[in-house]
A and B are shown apart, each in its own frame.
Chain A
């Protein structure tokens, strides 16, 4: 079945620094969603990418879908303490839209 690898699993960032989390698949993806889960919270939808090479921005967050639609990345610039949480990529695995969550990148921000 489809395997999704998300790296790194843990990211310690100094406030103001940039970082990137990556999601890699062994198969071509139809689409991919990204979610953020704050400590003690629930996953919250961030973005959906559908097209090859697609790039979407949300303020300091930049999401990218690879040209081959086998990988995706989330880049955060000028990290703030509000960025703390776990970021999950979640490709749809079939026509039902069933999501396969990656292991997540847990982000810790130090002031």
Chain B
């Protein structure tokens, strides 16, 4: 199984809502990532988890809160988002962090903030 799954596929939320994005992988990978991708732009790294611990936070606003409940799951909690946060949110995993880390991406969640 080389699949990373993400739910929901689409999400519309108001600026006062709280929602969560979920990501799951069963490849035994120990590194998991959140990326944000705006239309016609490359993915931008938000967070890296390594062995269930937050390793990298790319100065992401606190309205985005990641969580790694176990080695297979990664969540992104959303609160008080802005319309400019509308984007495709991609989860990825790799066997480990480090230079040889091929990343497997999930299909993404398309988020629209109204």
User: Which residues of A pack against B, CB within 8 Å?
Assistant: 30-31, 33, 41-45, 48, 50, 88, 92, 95-99, 101-104, 106
Which of B40, B50, B56, B105 sits near A106, CB closer than 8 Å? B40
Chain A residues, Cβ within 8 Å of B105 = 42-44
Q: Which residue of A lies closest to B98 (CB)?
A: A97
B27-48 interface bits toward A, Cβ cutoff 8 Å, 1 = contact, 0 = none:
0000100000000111111001
User: Which residues of B pack against A, CB within 8 Å?
Assistant: 31, 40-45, 48, 50, 55-56, 90, 94, 97-108
- Given known contacts A48-B102, A92-B99, what 16 new A-B pairs fall within 8 Å (CB)? A31-B100, A41-B107, A42-B105, A43-B43, A48-B100, A96-B48, A96-B50, A96-B56, A97-B98, A97-B99, A98-B45, A99-B45, A99-B103, A101-B43, A101-B44, A106-B40
Q: Please give the distance in Å from A27's CB to the nearest CB on chain B.
A: 15
CB of B43 within 8 A of CB of A95, answer no
Q: Please give the distance in Å from B98's CB to the nearest CB on chain A.
A: 5
CB of A42 within 8 A of CB of B107, answer yes
**What are 28 inter-chain pairs, A to B, with CB distance below 8 A?**
A30-B99, A31-B99, A31-B100, A33-B103, A42-B105, A42-B107, A44-B105, A45-B103, A45-B104, A48-B100, A48-B102, A50-B99, A88-B42, A88-B43, A92-B99, A95-B99, A96-B48, A96-B55, A96-B98, A97-B31, A97-B94, A97-B97, A97-B99, A97-B100, A97-B101, A98-B56, A101-B44, A103-B42
